[in-house]
Structure 1
């Protein structure tokens, strides 16, 4: 009796299984950075209270707690445990990756709770440590049941959509981080690399409508070219670059619109669509379409130049008083930490992307 023929899907999964992808590792590092930021924000007011950083372990049951807080702590560490276990999948045995991820998740939570002892705006808690560890453990357990299938499908999707270049996974994480920066409604559209709020630098150019219009347009043109060429470098050759990039920028603008509608006011959902933004998107789109016809090495070089030019211009542009007036009614509330994260990501994104472009240019 002949054996049944395996399904096409199973054959594809078996074919792709040996493929290595570093995407889970990069995502685990990025998510760990997110956890650190959320746990220690706003990173100010550090002081020695005279207490041991480990005193919270013997603090008994916390006086103030809610089921919602417990659920948030568990859910926040569940993806971390899953990604850590997936990153450690090459460890021998079925349970070793999950157990190692549990220990790493618990260690991260323990270190962050201990550091919160020196932050007056934070209260370290043994209950937080326990719920975080539980979340990491649940995420790690998921890899035992579904981790292998998830890993294979991610590798299959990467092979189909991404170019076969080294460090493509890190580039994909960079693109996702750039999309995250579009959730900050107070920044110029596509603007990144503004360090003035971190270094307390006064804008060099005083506000004037004509100069602001020109600078805003130039920033959007430069960043449209830079992010478009970086994204194109990551796409597989069989993909339609024009269609894929159009969909990508529509996604970015949709994120920007949704963020403004939810965080500020639905009536200001399209506040980003200024005359300078409209002209910048049009000019940037036309120039990007032409540059896509150039050789790969030249596209990488132009992406770096556009990225550097956009970063310089965004640090010269004065704040728009009309946008400041519109955002004056913004009540950040629970979004304060999240908004700080998006602004921080927007500030440092070019300084992560530029070294990546340098490495990418040497590999191509």
Structure 2
């Protein structure tokens, strides 16, 4: 598990790059030097929210980089290197934003990003030994599978997809928005109910079996899996509460989602009795079935309203990031299932 920071660092870096350059369209030559933002005055219009968000976005990067570089001679050298690398990343994306008409490069953003990286590096220095010890103890609870940290990161990305309140509960793999493909089925209450229940049912079993496969045999328990699903639903509820308002915190709990989750949990408890190969096979089938269903499901009128409300705020780029992660997740998870058939 001590390899986890080195695995997470490139993943988190890719997320930052995508969020910083989203929507990746409208590129043009503005006849402005990409370095001009370094010498301009600070932006006339800025908000405390933007500054805090820029600091917090790079804080985990500083933490991860410092932990990943802990083999460097001296803890402070690792922290300094992490801060410089975080600043270099921020400088590069700010410079590239010069060619994106929807983005404005800012020296204030660069300063906030570097501050966040430095704070993350200091946090790693303060908590490094505790974090390393905790990760080592967690390693003992995981299955003896090569590159198990990759699967742990994928489960973390699955939890990240739940931050998008517009998507189906546990629904991932929807590619239609990437290719402008219209829904295959017209909206009707009955068909929407059935497809939503099927999506939640399939993905409940798939993610449950994937999490079970991560755990060492002596660590697996229904209570632990139950805690995982409680945490997942808490993430979904908290995201909706923060992004949309407290009155919409439990809008994900529709009749279809409730039915699919309830039946999925019951069948999952039976699938846990299967041998490892059987669990992996069913997880793969449920993952593929859920992906097919989410791509033929009719558009949810509620999701359209949610997306319009959300995009009016500060979360446009965050929305694009969560949707892309949700779209690609099953196609990353399927190859990962092959790891669970291997042992050290």
TM value normalised by structure 2: 0.90
Q: Secondary structure at the match of 1:333?
A: coil
Say if 1:52 and 1:323 are closer, same or farther in 2 by CA, change over 3 A: closer
Q: 1:30 maps to what in 2? A: 11
Cα offsets for 1:254-302 (capped at 9, x unmatched): 2223333443354443332223222211221121111101111221111
Structure 1 unaligned spans of 5+: 1-19
Query: Aligned pair in 2 of structure 1 residues 70, 258: CA closer, same or farther (>3 Å)?
Result: closer
Distance 1:212 1:291 in 2: 27
With a CA cutoff of 8 Å and minimum separation of 6, indicate the structure with the bigger relative contact order. 2
Q: 1:316 aligns with which of 289, 296, 308?
A: 296
**Corresponding position of 1:52:** 33
The answer on whether the counterparts of 1:77 and 1:132 sit within 8 Å (CA) in structure 2 is yes
Query: Which of 350, 354, 363 pairs up with 2:330?
Result: 350
From 105, 111, 117, give the equivalent of 2:92.
Answer: 111
Once the two structures are TM-superposed, the CA of residue 118 in structure 1 deviates from its matched residue by 0.6
Report the equivalent of 1:280.
260
Distance of 1:80 and 1:224 partners within structure 2: 31
Residue 78 of structure 1 pairs with residue 56 of structure 2: no
Shift of 1:204: 1.5
Q: 1:90 to 1:198 in 2, by over 3 A?
A: same
Distance of aligned partners of 1:28 and 1:328 in 2 relative to their CA distance in 1, 3 Å threshold: closer
Name the CA distance, whole Å, in 1 between partners of 2:2 and 2:95: 34
- Mapping of 1:202-221 within 5 angstroms? 202-221=182-201
Deviations 1:113-170 (A, max 9, x none): 11111111222223432332233233324433432332222222332x3223222222
Residues of 2 paired with 1:325 and 1:69: CA distance? 25
Structure 2: 5+ residue stretches without partners: none
Alignment partners' CA distance in 1, 2:60 and 2:307: 33
Say whether 1:305 aligns with 2:289. no
How do 1:1-364 and structure 2 match up within 5 A?
21-65=2-46, 69-159=50-140, 161-321=141-301, 324=304, 332-363=312-343
- 1:66 Cα shift? 5.7
| Structure 1 range deviating more: 263-272 or 106-115 | 263-272
Q: Give the whole-Å Cα distance in 2 for the aligned partners of 1:181 and 1:121.
A: 24
Q: Deviations over 1:17-57 (max 9, x none)?
A: xxx62111222223222322332222222111012212223
Alpha-carbon distance, 1:64 to partner: 4.5
RMSD of equivalent CA atoms: 2.5
User: Residues 145, 302 of structure 1: CA spacing in aligned structure 2 closer, same or farther, 3 A cutoff?
Assistant: same
1:243 deviates by 0.9
C-alpha distance in structure 2 between counterparts of 1:354 and 1:313, whole Å: 16
Structure 1 residue 65: Cα displacement: 4.8
192-201 or 230-239: which moved more? 230-239
190-199 vs 169-178, greater mean Cα deviation: 169-178
CA deviation profile, 1:71-116 (whole Å, cap 9, x unmatched): 5433432321121011011123343322321221121111111111
The structure-2 alpha-carbon separation of the partners of 1:245 and 1:121, relative to structure 1 and needing over 3 Å to count, comes to same
State how far apart, in whole Å, the 1-side matches of 2:47 and 2:171 are: 39
Higher Rg: 1
Q: How big is the shift at 1:186?
A: 1.8
In 1, Cα distance between the equivalents of 2:134 and 2:89?
Answer: 28
Q: Following the alignment from structure 1 to structure 2, what is the Cα–Cα distance between the partners of residues 43 and 253? A: 31
